């Protein structure tokens, strides 16, 4: 789950088929069960081969995938590539069809990182009022955003509130004529940011508030550049902008890099900058209103008409080098048996990347998200075993291991940008992310547990949170029925919560593209995103039950004639 905040060699490759002895006494038997000659396992009243999903096998795989040798599977590292190869080899061994381009098990896409260069001399911002001008300091009074292209612009200023357009909500901050040649001043975040009744996803941060989406909206209306400033009425007080700027553009690159999806960055053709509240206050003096007054005035139900700011113009230049990196998801398909329904897909998925290593410190990511990944492999195996015994589902099932979730759900977003099958023919998405622990929220846990009530691990020994449950009651009903005979405690509680849990994993891109999707999450705990998230701490009994539930629910979705729908009024960008 995304935080709100060297090749290993031949010996490791040999362990693809059999986990190390330290993984437990149950070596992998993939590819052997179907050769045993026994009748296929059918759980009473359940999907065929459901009982083949076993905690011993989950444990064996997880001790390998989240072992120290994989060094946290950080995007862009050899270990991340090796993890992808491991998953691919298992899909291939199961006899699943490659679902990627050119008959590959990989879906490639590109990531973009931004760099200011060694001297930052190309980033300039100057405020011009008649004969007077004021030159501001880069990475002190302003800074370019990472996805911004390089460019030079001079123009007048137009204030556009939050700078949001959302057709699904009938909201538009760009009503009126074209903004050709103008520089837009827009607020961060969204209207009703903390209001659980806000049409912008309640207390959850709306996708419409994404700065790339805002930049593209301004670009579409003809703007020449965008300046973003904090919405001071929601975030009052004196902020240390220079410190924030240094955090955004550190002198020494971070261990975990910041990426955006290249497909998004390539669409942005106008400079985009963040400016300090003090800088914005200088820009809006001609309105005879304070920045806070203007910020409050943006809280409208349907948007606002952009307001020209008299007596001032801006000269700016940005110098951002865009660096492109290749990345890949791992995808395999089991084709359905029904002549008509096999053209509809059910997606079962999990992300396999995590936060890497720093010397001897390793962020193993056993729960986040080795747990979901090994469950995906077990579910794929159950489908493959059932298919070998003549029990292929009516619809096709895609097994997807997403990459770069920790960098911003980028693998799943990449899929929705270039889906392997039309999204309108995608029946549902079942995503597993952190399904191996018991939710534990300690007293005084801090910002990482924002919006979550204090609770013990023991109280959550048999629970799993369903994320996205409110977006499709029909899909939620299918999950509840699939849970009969499995006996988990399904918790429906975090869809409208400031913790943002519903949007912090890979079900979110699909929900934003009109596809019914849910995520399974056993919850946060003190080891989340620390070096203590290790495989020996996993609740394998519960993890087995969750994997069986996801298999059962996906199988039910693949078998039934009808398909679930999203609720009316679910917002999309």
Mark whether 76 and 206 lie in a shared domain: no
Mark whether 306 and 366 lie in a shared domain: no
Mean pLDDT of the chain: 92
User: Domain with 458 in it: what CATH number?
Assistant: 3.40.630.10
Rounded average pLDDT over 245-274: 95
Backbone CA torsion sign across 187, 190, 192, 194:
negative
Mark whether 295 and 393 lie in a shared domain: no
R_g of the chain computed on alpha carbons:
25
pLDDT of res. 15: 38
Rounded average pLDDT over 290-318: 96
Residue 272 pLDDT > 80? yes
DSSP alpha helix (H) spans, 396-517? 410-417, 473-482, 507-511
Instruction: Count Cβ atoms within 10 A of the Cβ of residue 271 and give its class: 0-12 exposed, 13-18 middle, 19 or more buried.
Output: buried
* H or E element in which residue 561 lies: none
Mark whether 254 and 190 lie in a shared domain: yes
Query: Where does the pLDDT of residue 96 fall: very low under 50, low under 70, confident under 90, or very high at 90 and above?
Result: very high
**Which range is least confidently modeled, 239-248, 342-351, 527-536?**
239-248
Rounded average pLDDT over 242-249: 94
Q: DSSP assignment of 133-150, as one string?
A: EEEEPBTTTEEE-TTPPP
pLDDT of res. 568: 81
Q: Structure tokens of 269?
A: 């053709």
> Would 400 be classed as within a structural domain?
yes
pLDDT of res. 407: 98
Structural contact between residues 466 and 518, judged by C-beta atoms closer than 8 angstroms: yes
Mark whether 363 and 256 lie in a shared domain: no
Strand order in the sheet with 272-275: 132-136, 124-129, 307-318, 151-159, 183-187, 225-229, 272-275, 142-144
Residue 562 pLDDT > 70? yes
pLDDT of res. 414: 98
Mark whether 220 and 275 lie in a shared domain: yes
Mark whether 69 and 132 lie in a shared domain: no
* C-alpha 347, offset from chain centre: 16
**Which range is least confidently modeled, 40-49, 191-200, 229-238, 432-441?**
40-49
Domain boundary among 284, 319, 354: 319
Residue 23 pLDDT > 80? no
Separation between Cα atoms, residue 401 and residue 411, nearest integer Å:
9
pLDDT of res. 238: 62
Domain boundary among 285, 319, 353: 319
CA distances from 173 to 148, 295, 482, 564 (A): 21, 13, 44, 33
Residue 8 pLDDT > 80? no
For residue range 143-187, what is the model confidence (pLDDT) as tens digits? 999 999 999 999 999 999 999 999 999 999 999 888 999 999 999
Mark whether 312 and 409 lie in a shared domain: no
Going by their DSSP bridges, the two strands 97-98 and 260-261 should be labelled as: unpaired
Domain boundary among 258, 293, 319: 319
Query: Where does the pLDDT of residue 253 fall: very low under 50, low under 70, confident under 90, or very high at 90 and above?
Result: confident
pLDDT of res. 45: 63
> Would 92 be classed as within a structural domain?
no
> Would 468 be classed as within a structural domain?
yes
Mark whether 310 and 345 lie in a shared domain: no
Q: Structure tokens of 119?
A: 């001297």
Mark whether 81 and 208 lie in a shared domain: no
> Would 315 be classed as within a structural domain?
yes
Residue 422 pLDDT > 70? yes
The model's pTM = 0.92
Rounded average pLDDT over 30-39: 40
pLDDT of res. 18: 36
pLDDT of res. 123: 95
Separation between Cα atoms, residue 518 and residue 510, nearest integer Å:
9
Number of domains in the chain: 2
Find the domain containing 221 and state its range.
117-319
DSSP alpha helix (H) spans, 317-472? 371-388, 410-417
Residue 498 pLDDT > 60? yes
Separation between Cα atoms, residue 515 and residue 502, nearest integer Å:
15
> Would 101 be classed as within a structural domain?
no
Match 């301004």 to its residue by tokens.
Answer: 218
Residue 17 pLDDT > 50? no
Mark whether 269 and 311 lie in a shared domain: yes
> Would 262 be classed as within a structural domain?
yes
User: Domain with 151 in it: what CATH number?
Assistant: 3.50.30.30
Mark whether 295 and 223 lie in a shared domain: yes
Separation between Cα atoms, residue 428 and residue 566, nearest integer Å:
10
pLDDT of res. 470: 97
Separation between Cα atoms, residue 217 and residue 226, nearest integer Å:
10
Instruction: Count Cβ atoms within 10 A of the Cβ of residue 131 and give its class: 0-12 exposed, 13-18 middle, 19 or more buried.
Output: exposed
């Amino acid at each position: 789950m995304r935080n709100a905040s060297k090749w290993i060699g031949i010996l490791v490759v040999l362990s693809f088929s059999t986990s190390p002895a330290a993984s437990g006494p149950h070596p992998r038997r993939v590819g052997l069960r179907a050769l045993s000659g026994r009748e296929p396992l059918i759980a009473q009243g359940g999907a065929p081969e459901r009982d083949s999903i076993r905690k011993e096998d989950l444990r064996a795989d997880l001790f390998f995938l989240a072992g120290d040798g994989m060094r946290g599977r950080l995007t862009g590292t050899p270990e991340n590539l090796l993890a992808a190869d491991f998953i691919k080899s298992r899909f291939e061994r199961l006899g699943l069809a490659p679902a990627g381009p050119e008959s590959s098990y990989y879906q490639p896409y590109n990531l973009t990182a931004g760099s200011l260069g060694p001297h930052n001399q190309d980033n300039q911002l100057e405020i011009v009022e008649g004969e007077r001008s004021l030159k501001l300091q880069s990475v002190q009074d302003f800074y370019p955003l990472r996805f911004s292209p390089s460019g030079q612009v001079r123009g007048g200023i137009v204030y556009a509130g939050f700078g949001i357009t959302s057709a699904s909500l009938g909201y538009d901050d760009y009503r009126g004529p074209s903004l050709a040649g103008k520089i837009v001043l827009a607020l961060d975040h969204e209207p009703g940011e903390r209001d659980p009744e806000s049409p912008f996803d309640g207390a959850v941060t709306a996708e419409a508030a994404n700065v790339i989406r805002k930049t593209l909206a301004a670009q579409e209306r003809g703007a020449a550049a965008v300046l973003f400033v904090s919405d001071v009425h929601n975030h009052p007080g004196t902020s240390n902008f220079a410190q924030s700027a240094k955090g955004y553009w550190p002198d020494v690159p971070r261990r975990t890099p910041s990426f955006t999806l290249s497909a998004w960055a390539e669409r942005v053709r106008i400079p985009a900058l963040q400016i300090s509240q003090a800088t914005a206050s200088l820009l809006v003096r001609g309105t005879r209103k304070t920045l806070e007054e203007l910020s409050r005035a943006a809280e409208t139900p349907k948007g606002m008409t952009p307001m020209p700011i008299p007596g001032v113009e801006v000269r700016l230049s940005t110098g951002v080098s865009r660096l492109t990196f290749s990345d890949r998801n791992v995808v395999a398909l089991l084709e359905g048996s029904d002549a008509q329904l096999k053209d509809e897909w059910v997606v079962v998925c999990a992300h396999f990347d995590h936060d890497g290593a720093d010397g001897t410190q390793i962020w193993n990511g056993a729960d986040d998200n080795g747990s979901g990944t090994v469950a995906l492999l077990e579910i794929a195996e159950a489908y493959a075993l059932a298919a070998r015994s003549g029990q292929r589902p009516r619809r096709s099932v895609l097994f997807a291991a997403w990459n770069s979730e920790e960098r911003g759900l980028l693998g799943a977003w990449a899929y929705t940008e270039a889906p392997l099958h039309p999204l309108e023919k995608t029946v549902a998405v079942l995503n597993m992310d952190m399904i191996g622990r018991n939710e534990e929220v300690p007293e005084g846990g801090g910002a990482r547990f924002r919006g979550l009530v204090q609770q013990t691990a023991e109280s959550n020994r048999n629970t799993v949170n369903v994320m996205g449950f409110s977006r499709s009651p029909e899909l939620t009903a299918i999950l509840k029925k699939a849970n009969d005979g499995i006996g988990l405690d399904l918790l429906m509680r975090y869809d409208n919560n400031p913790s943002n849990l519903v949007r912090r994993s890979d079900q979110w891109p699909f929900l934003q593209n009109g596809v019914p999707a849910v995520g399974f999450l056993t919850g946060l705990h003190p080891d989340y995103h620390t070096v203590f998230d290790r495989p020996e701490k996993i609740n394998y009994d519960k993890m087995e039950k969750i994997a069986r539930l996801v298999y059962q629910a996906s199988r039910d979705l693949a078998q039934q004639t009808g398909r679930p729908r999203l609720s009316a009024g679910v917002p999309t960008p």
